[in-house]
Structure 1
């Protein structure tokens, strides 16, 4: 009886000890969110027909068996995230790679990415974030026409991201997270031109990324498997237990990217989240960012951007998070639509910025809100009348002072002339 078992779903229990070895004919083996420890036995590689393995969120250690490559012909989903695995990622040297989903994030894996991954033509999801992988940007993954999610965050990737090698690079990519690495040089504008899935969605998009491999429900309504990820979204770390099919995200933050924000990014009209913070970007805040009409979060903080915030950016209607703090921006802050909702921390440490919501007032009236409450209008009109009255008083007082001075001068002059005349007459009389 047990030999015919094809689905084992032991997720979210208190299981301890080593990993039980699946039966040879098993297809789906789910044992995540337990307290299992120890290493993965090479005996697991004898289960040649297995299609999904989920060992995530345990306390597993040791090296990943090199024989995992023997499973690549049938294995479609492999989730080993949030354990303590060490060493290199095994090569997938099988004659055929059926893998659609690979999640090795939050371990202690090191070394370069195995180039054998480019044999996985159906790969949609690759997450190796939060490891110690040391490599250059894997441009060779661009040939995978189905790759939708690429997460390399918090590793030791380094160097320039050069020109794409082919005419088509990452055409299906919707989510890319390269944050917290050591990439340098200009932002990869040449790649932006190829990311067609971020420009316009297809009408047949699934509700969630990964719907294509949900087949275990045939045997059990609870035996479903979803792609999951952990990213910085809208300024906070967010755990996605499912990934919406419409979600698009670019996170290139916390690297050493330099230069200006390239105009090529304006074509990615379906972008929801864009994070370029904590780099060395210079130049002005480009008005063409307003072309990203679906943007919900824009983080450009901790760079060296200068100039004014363009009024064109007030065209955003979905923008919930806007952060340009710790830059060198100047001038008045726009105060229209979504910009009327952003608080001080969106603009802090830009010593040249002024206007609401900052306490620093602008000399230019453009920095003031276009509409103010009635009480403020009354106050303003009262202040204006008071100012006019003071000016009038100053005018009257000035005229009075000038009049008194002129009057005294005329009186003094006439008295002097009179004295001269009287003195002259007396002198003539004495001579006579």
Structure 2
């Protein structure tokens, strides 16, 4: 066994040819400029070849396919041109990882992949590849990562890839894909279900149509964690004691990020910058492992589903530049891990939630929604609210008034009786004192009804509905006090004031 690692140096010129017994050769992150034409024919034992991050130019020599024991080939982030040698995808029965990201390769992907395909990761992103995806990829049953982002692929959504049971990363962003996503009929959802997907990136294409609620409900790996799985997506090569970690580049929290390793905790849906319309599927709320959701720059309508408030792992939510309407669901304010929110340029209205967590977001998160109001936008909300359901002030003081009235009545009656007993006046004289007592009571009750009410009547209901001075309708109630309410069963005490 032979391992040669000269990575992270400043070596220049053509890549040196290692000895024939070399199994692992890592010359990445140097300044090598080319691959010798007969390079592969001298690598009879090589299993892992890593030459990323150099300045390699020219074409990939077909001789590379003569290294028949090759399990991993990483030529990413160079300046390679030309087409991909068809033998790399059609004849390399042991090749598990092929990473050609970040070159200038063009042409079509080879379309004669054999049934014994061993690919676990294919990364062709950031090139100039065109045409359609090779349907023969269905033979790669171990494929976990497929990244064709930033190319010129002209195709429809590959529902046929749902036959790949281990596919976890599907990146189709920045191409020329067209048509609907998912099954054409909601009843045929099983024909396009991707039960293992964790990263699903369709951004910047020409996809259109509805995002079907039933289809998102088939993404089982975004709902529950699998038991006993490794935290990082990687390939382990036991014979060499080496581990190769898969990489991908996605938009995360508003920035384009290249993940040097893919954590299984990163669960992403990005369908931004397409022509999707209709409502946001409520079933997305069932994908509780989601860490990032980007549906911006489409033509989505309707309200933001309150079900998104169940996504407790969500760190990034971008629904900007759509036609969403209604209020911002209060449930979003409970997403404690949410650190990036963009709801700008929609038709949202109402008060922006004012939870402590929501107040940490930039005002730009809500820009372009003229109907929104609150602390995070330039428009204040109407602070008037319906009156709280509490006791009316008149009800609070009714008992005090009753006691006060009866005290006054008691005083008047007692005064009249004492005068009768003391002075022995006649019955006719008692009428005078009665008038005097009632006049006194009029003074006691003068704070309840105005002196200028037509009948100058004061009254009190036993159901505690007391006339309150300066309360709405108090004068009208006094003016009509002499008219008993036929529908009320409560007893009224009417006290006419003597004019004599």
Contact 2:182 2:192 in 1 (8 A): no
Q: 2:82 aligns with which of 27, 43, 62?
A: 62
**Which has a greater percent of helix?**
1
| C-alpha deviation, 1:190, in angstroms | 3.1
1:238-276 alpha-carbon deviations (Å, 9 max, x no partner): 121111121100000000000011112111111110000
Q: Which structure is larger by alpha-carbon Rg, 1 or 2?
A: 2
Q: Which residue of 1 aligns with 2:206?
A: 182
Distance 1:43 1:179 in 2: 36
Aligned ranges for residues 201-350 of structure 1 at < 5 Å? 201-210=225-234, 213-215=235-237, 218-219=239-240, 224-350=243-369
Contact 2:159 2:191 in 1 (8 A): no
Distance 1:272 1:95 in 2: 35
| C-alpha deviation, 1:315, in angstroms | 1.9
Match of 1:183, SS state, is strand
More displaced stretch, 129-138 vs 329-338: 329-338
| C-alpha deviation, 1:341, in angstroms | 1.0
Match of 1:141, SS state, is helix
Q: 1:10 aligns with which of 21, 27, 34?
A: 27
Distance 2:143 2:154 in 1: 22
Distance 1:280 1:168 in 2: 23
Unaligned runs of 5+ in 1: 367-432
Distance 2:196 2:182 in 1: 20
Q: Please, what TM-score do these two structures have when normalized by structure 1?
A: 0.80
Distance 1:50 1:38 in 2: 21
Distance 1:134 1:251 in 2: 19
Q: Which residue of 2 aligns with 1:104?
A: 124
More displaced stretch, 97-106 vs 311-320: 311-320
Structure 1 residues 193 and 86, CA, compared in 2 at 3 Å: closer, same or farther? Answer: same
Structure 1 residues 351 and 104, CA, compared in 2 at 3 Å: closer, same or farther? Answer: same
More displaced stretch, 45-54 vs 20-29: 20-29
| C-alpha deviation, 1:209, in angstroms | 1.4
Distance 2:206 2:164 in 1: 24
Q: Which residue of 2 aligns with 1:142?
A: 162
| C-alpha deviation, 1:191, in angstroms | 2.5
1:31-71 alpha-carbon deviations (Å, 9 max, x no partner): 11101111111111122111000000111000111122344
Q: Which residue of 1 aligns with 2:58?
A: 38
Contact 2:299 2:323 in 1 (8 A): yes
Q: Which residue of 2 aligns with 1:133?
A: 153
Say if 2:180 is the partner of 1:160.
yes
Distance 1:276 1:128 in 2: 20
Q: Which residue of 2 aligns with 1:393?
A: none
Q: 1:86 aligns with which of 97, 106, 112?
A: 106
Distance 2:105 2:173 in 1: 17
Distance 2:32 2:303 in 1: 56
Distance 2:332 2:384 in 1: 19
Structure 1 residues 207 and 47, CA, compared in 2 at 3 Å: closer, same or farther? Answer: same
Match of 2:359, SS state, is helix
Contact 1:24 1:46 in 2 (8 A): yes
> CA RMSD, aligned part only?
1.7
Give aligned pairs, total.
361
Structure 1 residues 238 and 336, CA, compared in 2 at 3 Å: closer, same or farther? Answer: same
Structure 1 residues 68 and 315, CA, compared in 2 at 3 Å: closer, same or farther? Answer: same
Match of 1:258, SS state, is strand
Q: Which has the higher contact order (CA 8 A, sep 6+)?
A: 1
Structure 1 residues 232 and 114, CA, compared in 2 at 3 Å: closer, same or farther? Answer: same
Match of 2:245, SS state, is coil
Runs of 4+ in 1 over 6 A off after TM superposition: none
Q: Which residue of 2 aligns with 1:351?
A: 370
Match of 1:340, SS state, is helix
Q: Please, what TM-score do these two structures have when normalized by structure 2?
A: 0.70
Contact 1:73 1:95 in 2 (8 A): no
Distance 1:19 1:123 in 2: 30
Contact 1:19 1:37 in 2 (8 A): no
| C-alpha deviation, 1:338, in angstroms | 2.1
